[in-house]
Amino acid sequence: MSLSFNFNLSAGQLPRLQSIDSISADDADQVSLPELNQELSFSGEVSFSEANPSYQEILKLDRFLTAAGIPHRTSRLFDGWKISYTPYDKEVSDVVEHFGSCGMENDRMEINGLADLIRINPAKIFDTLGVYGDINALEVFVFWSQNYRKINPQYRKGNFLTAWREVLKTFPAVSECPLLRLCYNLAKKPYADMLDCFSSAELAEIFALAVLFEDAEFIAVLTGCQTRKHLISYILDELIQTAINQKNYDIQLILTDYKHRNHLYREKKFYL
């Protein structure tokens, strides 16, 4: 893969150059470099034949989006990757992970267009112009999938739950999700007050996030909800295993009791 870079260096960065056509051969020795008066332009070509194998977070996001059926486009960029979120067959947000992106040294991504998608306005909380760095696959998946469910009422919940199974298998801990944790904390109160008003997909999402963030108190509230238990059963085993991986036995006990009280067993394979 070949990329072309064009650099325009303006005054103050390098001495300005006078057009060579206006300088005669006789005058050339009399003209010093600082007196030359033209912007210096440099073009070069850099080739990246292979992606850096350390960039795994963005490939993980691609798997989540594919499982969920979220429209996106994955392409090579520099020594890494770019994923574009394309709900209208055009890009409305994107993430990148390459040698120049924020967080790449820790296998994290940089997102553009976040301010237009997130349910809270990040400009009120973060000093950002719609670009946010050091973000991981779980956070991007939540923000993009929330937006897609909102604009597409016909979105298949089965795809969404299938993706969450994949998420839970690969995300036993979320200690490095500060943005998502903040959004979760802000959203939790209205969820607790109006659980019956939210969609089944929203309930499954907040259930999963509560387990990932080890919020035992809110999980107790959610397991007391008497609606749509069957939907939670699709991811309940993965939620219990996540609690075991976290060594959070209080949550494991709450979920196991919830499973047995409501007879939420998957004796047969579910086709979502």
What pLDDT digit, counting tens, does each position of 190-207 carry? 666 677 777 778 888 988
3-state secondary structure labels for all residues of the chain: CEEEEEEEECECCECCCCCHHHCCHHHHCCCCHHHCCCCEEEEEEEECCCCCCCCCHHHHHHHHHHHHCCCEEEEEECCEEEEEECCCCCCCEEEEECCCCCCHHHCCEEEECHHHCCCCCHHHCCCCCCEEEEECHHHHHHHHHHHHHHHCCCCCHHHHHHHHHHHHHHCCCCCCCHHHHHHHHHHHHHHHHCHHHCCHHHHHHHHHHHHHCCCHHHHHHHHCCCCCHHHHHHHHHHHHHHHHHCCCHHHHHHHHHHHHHCCCCCCCCCCC
Averaged pLDDT for residues 219-225: 86
- Predicted pLDDT at 170: 84
Its pTM stands at 0.75
pLDDT of residue 190: 67
Could you report the per-residue pLDDT of 10-34, keeping only the tens digit for each? 333 333 333 334 334 444 444 444 4
pLDDT at position 24 is: 42
Q: Per-residue confidence at 119, pLDDT binned at 50, 70, 90?
A: low
